[in-house]
Structure 1
Amino acid sequence: MPLDNLTINRVCLHEVYQRADGGAVVPPTYGAGLLVLDDRALQAFRSRVSAAFQSSSQCMEMSVRVHGQGSVLANGVDALATNNDRFAQHSRLFADALASAQTSRQMPGGLVVVFDGTVGNPAAPFFAVMKAELHEGFVKTNDLQAQFVSDLFLSPKTKLYKIGIFVSDGAHPRPALPEGWSAIVYDSAMTASQRDNAATYFYSGFLGLDIPVNAAQQVRKFFEETKAFIRAAELAEERRVDLYNGLYVYLKLDQGNTIQTSRFAETYMDEDLAEDYLTHMRRVRFPVAAVAKDLSEVAGSLRLRKFKFARSITLSGPPDAVRDLVTVQAIEGEQGATWTQVTIRGRIEAQE
């Protein structure tokens, strides 16, 4: 989600802290005014922001859930309309809100960077809030010695930061919030296959945003929750293998353009197991209706079907080949132990 034609206008810096031992909020430390950056520093800051939003796997457009008075969106819109002195004063509200949203001592402190500017062509105004965690490193001195510092931030190789950016569509007159505004979040912990890795306290508790429900995310949820059900069900190992094979086949080889829990249950499960499965999927709030089969977030997981055994022994292959050529059966081994008998209908073609 690149930020084309990005310009940075005003920047303010504050600091929030880890909660106290008793769980109380530690008041933030506020910057005195606008952050003064020379051209080189401003360009570096702009580069960090632009680079973050180049990574489509670590950023996501989100839906605005909280937009009333006192919300991050409402405060940001108000801040955009102020002069520089008022902007610096108004930006303190974001530090207060983030300190309150960090409800656990497991959430580290860091710097709150509030900034605004324009993006796109034609240029549209935006405001953004970044949380940048501090980290340690060494700084080279003029006499080729090194000085250890513990308060580095925004280093290009250490992406310990999160950014929420709110972009206006430029509509006039100003519509009722949240109309006319889009929100995008960058979080270095997020990946394309694990959107839930994004820090909930930041995007939800602080920014008031929700991860939008789309087909790719729903298909990933179907894949993960169905695997979880099969893993936990009281089944013979051979039956468990059949269900895993069925899941891979249903997603990867079935020619339908939608997925549906009832259809999967009817195709691969007996009546009692199907009822338990459908109950499980309702419990995790997966839709009963059909969902478009967008495999973009599970494509990597569907390439190979894997069996893992003790002492790092792994058997893997394309799901259709595993279904057609591999039989897995639990057998009784020595001293009552359970062993696994794997039959492959084919000869060894190579060894490494």
Structure 2
Amino acid sequence: MTLTNLIVNRIIIHQIFQKTSDTMTPPEQSTEYTRFDTKAQMDFDSRVIGALGSDSKAVSMQIIDLDEKGLPALIDKAVNDTDDDFINSSFDIAHKLARAQFEKGRAIGGGIVVVFTGTYGIKDKKILGIMKADIHSGYEKIKTEGGQISLKHIEDLLLTPSSRLYKTVGFCEKTEYDPLSTNPNDKWSVLISDNQISQVDGKAAAEYFYSTFAGCGYPETSARTTKFFYDATKSFILNLDNKTSEEKYELSNALTTYLKLGQSILVNPIEFAENFFDKEVIDEYRNHLKASQIPLTSFTKDVEHIKNQLKLHKVTFSNNVKIEADPDTFKNDILMETIEGETDANGVSQEWTKIIVKSKLTIKK
């Protein structure tokens, strides 16, 4: 999701608490909106884009909870609320998160819940975002007499480089959709960012947030998206004009290794590009993915549809000679380099390939 032209017009903060007994501690409600000065507001907008934008590790999810009391239904109403009504509906959102944490157990800390609305894109589509931020132990009580969470505290907590927003969900209105549709997935794109979600077991660690609270789940099309990413990236590599055949082979091998052996449960196309492509072609790669309708944000890795392609890595030469091996073997035991061969009938040197296999030749009967 590209959050261009983001304008945040309402921010309100509530506080939730860690479970300490068998009775849930009610959240503490703010009754006033948080007002930033111009620079602080720009910093906050940058934080939102950093958490949910195209260069983030936010994961696209689909809405599972279709109940009229679920968060998606509450979002659908709250985004259009008047300022007076939004104070209460945003607190309902905070209360729903507090309940999800309470049901999960005592391991989850309290914090502040930042609820904001705004618009994005050239068509000013609506966005409603929810951030749960940690409260550092050194802070004292943060509610003012006027009913507002301390502005200075919020600036320190949200805008300094050392602070972290460790759980964020954004409901982003789609550019085009059928207004008569009763399926919220037709109207909303949902992005969820969590500092645990990209770890090996991140899916389970964040489940209470994306499922119990947000009412969302991982898309059923993850395997299809992974296959499209693989095919589109392989095509891009093979069409790189500034790379030799040997370099293209190495990049293709990196793609296979990334998908088969990578420890993350997520695929992050831009992260892959920044690790393996020259900087000069990353923008071109972005455009290639967009044209292929591949998300630029992270998505769940599922190699079900490309198991055979990942099982054996194959290179084919112009004389139809083929070498096949699993990705590990190609990476560790096979060396290939381009060398100058004999001259042809026109006196032009041919391009040959020297191959070294770190193994003894075995003749199978």
Looking at structure 2, the residues matched to 196 and 217 of structure 1 have their Cα atoms a distance apart, in angstroms, of 18
Looking at structure 2, the residues matched to 194 and 2 of structure 1 have their Cα atoms a distance apart, in angstroms, of 27
SS of equivalent to 1:122? coil
Once the two structures are superposed, what CA deviation does each residue of 1:167-200 show, in whole Å capped at 9, x if it has no partner? 1125464532413111011112222876526611
User: Do residues 153 (structure 1) and 163 (structure 2) align?
Assistant: no
Aligned to 1:68: 67
Looking at structure 1, the residues matched to 217 and 88 of structure 2 have their Cα atoms a distance apart, in angstroms, of 28
Q: Which amino acid aligns with 1:86?
A: D
Query: Shift of the alpha carbon at 1:137?
Result: 7.3
SS of equivalent to 1:31? coil
Once the two structures are superposed, what CA deviation does each residue of 1:115-166 show, in whole Å capped at 9, x if it has no partner? 111112222111111111112679xxxxxxxxxx999522323324211111
Looking at structure 2, the residues matched to 210 and 190 of structure 1 have their Cα atoms a distance apart, in angstroms, of 13
Aligned to 1:212: 219
User: Do residues 167 (structure 1) and 172 (structure 2) align?
Assistant: yes
SS of equivalent to 2:32? strand
> Taking structure 1 as reference, are residues 151 and 87 closer, same or farther at Cα in structure 2, changes over 3 Å only?
closer
Q: Which amino acid aligns with 2:6?
A: L
Identity of aligned residues (%): 29
> Taking structure 1 as reference, are residues 32 and 110 closer, same or farther at Cα in structure 2, changes over 3 Å only?
same
Looking at structure 2, the residues matched to 134 and 78 of structure 1 have their Cα atoms a distance apart, in angstroms, of 29
Looking at structure 2, the residues matched to 84 and 208 of structure 1 have their Cα atoms a distance apart, in angstroms, of 25
Please give the residue correspondences for 1:102-181 in structure 2 after superposition, counting only pairs within 5 Å.
Answer: 102=101, 103-135=104-136, 152-154=156-158, 155-169=160-174, 171=177, 173=179, 175-178=181-184, 179-181=186-188
Once the two structures are superposed, what CA deviation does each residue of 1:228-267 show, in whole Å capped at 9, x if it has no partner? xxxxxxxxxxxxxxxxxxxx9xx76xxxxxxxxxxxxxxx
Query: Shift of the alpha carbon at 1:57?
Result: 6.0
Aligned to 1:182: 189
> Taking structure 1 as reference, are residues 324 and 106 closer, same or farther at Cα in structure 2, changes over 3 Å only?
same
> Taking structure 1 as reference, are residues 7 and 157 closer, same or farther at Cα in structure 2, changes over 3 Å only?
same
Aligned to 1:86: 85
Aligned to 2:209: 202
Structure 1 gaps, min length 5: 139-148, 220-247, 253-286, 303-316, 326-343, 347-352
Contact 1:137 1:152 in 2 (8 A): no
Please give the residue correspondences for 1:1-352 in structure 2 after superposition, counting only pairs within 5 Å.
Answer: 1-20=1-20, 22-54=21-53, 56=55, 58-102=57-101, 103-135=104-136, 152-154=156-158, 155-169=160-174, 171=177, 173=179, 175-178=181-184, 179-191=186-198, 196=203, 199-213=206-220, 214-215=222-223, 291-293=305-307, 318-320=328-330
- TM-score, normalising length: structure 1: 0.57
Looking at structure 1, the residues matched to 24 and 93 of structure 2 have their Cα atoms a distance apart, in angstroms, of 14
| Higher RCO (Cα < 8 Å, 6 or more apart) | 2
Contact 2:63 2:190 in 1 (8 A): yes
Looking at structure 2, the residues matched to 92 and 189 of structure 1 have their Cα atoms a distance apart, in angstroms, of 25
Q: Which amino acid aligns with 1:3?
A: L
Query: Shift of the alpha carbon at 1:70?
Result: 1.6
Looking at structure 1, the residues matched to 33 and 7 of structure 2 have their Cα atoms a distance apart, in angstroms, of 16
Aligned to 2:291: none
Query: Shift of the alpha carbon at 1:38?
Result: 2.1
The two structures, once aligned, show a CA RMSD in angstroms of 3.8
Looking at structure 2, the residues matched to 17 and 91 of structure 1 have their Cα atoms a distance apart, in angstroms, of 16
- TM-score, normalising length: structure 2: 0.55
> Taking structure 1 as reference, are residues 321 and 104 closer, same or farther at Cα in structure 2, changes over 3 Å only?
closer
Contact 1:162 1:187 in 2 (8 A): yes
> Taking structure 1 as reference, are residues 324 and 12 closer, same or farther at Cα in structure 2, changes over 3 Å only?
closer
Q: More strand by proportion, 1 or 2?
A: 1
